[in-house]
Structure 1
């Protein structure tokens, strides 16, 4: 429901996607936790959760940028191949892009100019770069 771009929730300032993931492992060297979902593996700050625990992640659309090629020299750790599903205008200068990431819907909020420069259209392959992920439970 949160990722249905035909509803106001997906076009609001706090548009978000909720993603179910499972704790895969912990990295004690860097104090990180790895969370697997059908689209890949999220890296988050270390959480005291048992391996195998199912959690929910909150990904805010404005924290997801898009690129046509997988970036390598970046501080962003959460980069996933995605397919553009839908694009809807959000105000005068922005669009909300609904993505499919491993079959899981996610949203990205970008400028109309960026969407034009990337030549985004439904079915196009992109990479979703997620800067911030909130662990809900």
Structure 2
């Protein structure tokens, strides 16, 4: 009789243990799904900041199409021609924003057209454009560098 009670107690303990393990695993899976849902609400950088580049006879014309609720920092633009930094980037007036990451700074929303002039006698062979932006929901992207030949 005592062995029967002991055996029944073991079975109940085993069933309770399995139930608790199942509950913990289901909870972890639910939390992972919630985490992935939050992660997926941010666009990949190439979708958030779509860049097109056109080379004219005396300048490089760039157009950024910036996704809704995303922005680019004015002071994070860098351009190189044949691996040499270019200081003359013609950017339009930007909106002033007090940013949690960079303080008071200038940003662009929606679209941005910029021109980078060069000497027509020495057109660049390689063009490198670096920029950085954020989502209004708080995610800031690492600087993005694009190369064009």
TM-score, shorter chain, exceeding 0.5: no
More helix by share: 2
More strand by share: 1
TM-score range, shorter chain: under 0.3
Q: Which has the larger radius of gyration?
A: 2
Length-normalised TM-score, structure 1:
0.26
